[in-house]
Amino acid sequence: MLKNLILLFIALLFNACFAVEEVSPPPKWFLSLPKDNVFLYGNGSGKTLEESKKNAINDLASSIKLKVNSSTSILNIQNNQEQESKILQNIQVSIENIELQNITFTHTEYKNKQYYSQIKISKNLLLKTLEDKYQDLYTQLGSLNSKNCKSISIKDKNTFEDLLNQAKSLVQSIQALDFSSKLPSLKAYEDIFNQNSPLVLARLVFSDTDDKEAIKILSSEYAKFIQNVDEKNIQTIYNKITIEPQQNKIIASLQANINDCDNKVVFYIQLHSTEINKQKALERLKIQLYKKLKEYQGNNQGNIPKIF
């Protein structure tokens, strides 16, 4: 009797070790997406319902990216990995912004210890959201570049580039969804950006009475931030340099206004350097000017006095 029990236990243990748990396939609806001209769909799975929903949103965005890629030859727009990433990110952000009210579940199911979800969103609704975002970016670009102005400010250059890249990515996304969509052209802003690259256009103005050595030294510092050109309809930087002896030292001073295309002061600079000789005073003044221009690249200035 005991021997039979031992043999039975060994047999059960052997079967348990080699038993294969049956795993049923995913739900049939999960294996393919519906195709129609009204809605866009996405499938996702995960350990939680929220995870499966998030993956379904990513799947929907990826499917739009594929449409973007397939249409680039028609649109004749350059495509690369970095640009693809921005396109996908723009689509995901747009979808997530409206998902609470307008993304709906068509299917949810718990199977094989996994949640499966299918979502849908109105194609026209997503298209309108992307178009509204594009229009907002277009308006922001216009606010950074006044009419007939050929230059971009030192402060706005990076912001302008970022807005332009976002808008260009959205053009691809929108036209992939609806090639007939009419969008304001970015060409004028692209031309302005190219003219202001790698450095922005500006006109440096010094007084005829300013010290020539000081002009040369400070101009070389400005050249790290601007292209100095003698043209109309660009920002202008007016400079006033003074070099004065005081007891046994030299005081070098710079006052400068950065004026936009409408001749409005947008940034004011006032610097002073006291050293034992003129050369050292100008070298220190040059360093101060660099720091001030770097500050202007990343900050707005409040009350701005005029010196001219």
Q: What is the pLDDT of residues 65-111, one digit of tens each?
A: 666 555 544 444 444 556 666 666 666 655 555 544 578 889 999 99
Cβ pair 286, 274 in contact under 8 A: no
Cβ pair 95, 57 in contact under 8 A: yes
Q: Which residues have a Cβ under 8 Å from the Cβ of 154 and sit 6 or more positions away?
A: 200, 202, 225, 226, 258, 293, 296, 297
Does the pLDDT of residue 22 top 80, yes or no? no
Does the pLDDT of residue 9 top 80, yes or no? no
Handedness of CA 133, 139, 143, 144 (dihedral sign): positive
Enter the tokens of residue 197.
């690259």
Share of the chain above pLDDT 90, in %: 53
Q: Residue 302's pLDDT band (boundaries 50, 70, 90)?
A: very low
Q: Find, among 109, 224, 130, the residue nearest to 177 by Cα.
A: 130
pLDDT given at position 76: 43
Q: Residue 278's pLDDT band (boundaries 50, 70, 90)?
A: very high
Residue 229, CA distances (Å) to 81, 201, 204, 237, 259 in order: 36, 7, 8, 11, 15
Q: Dump pLDDT digits (tens) for 68-81.
A: 555 544 444 444 55
Cβ pair 202, 157 in contact under 8 A: no
pLDDT given at position 85: 65
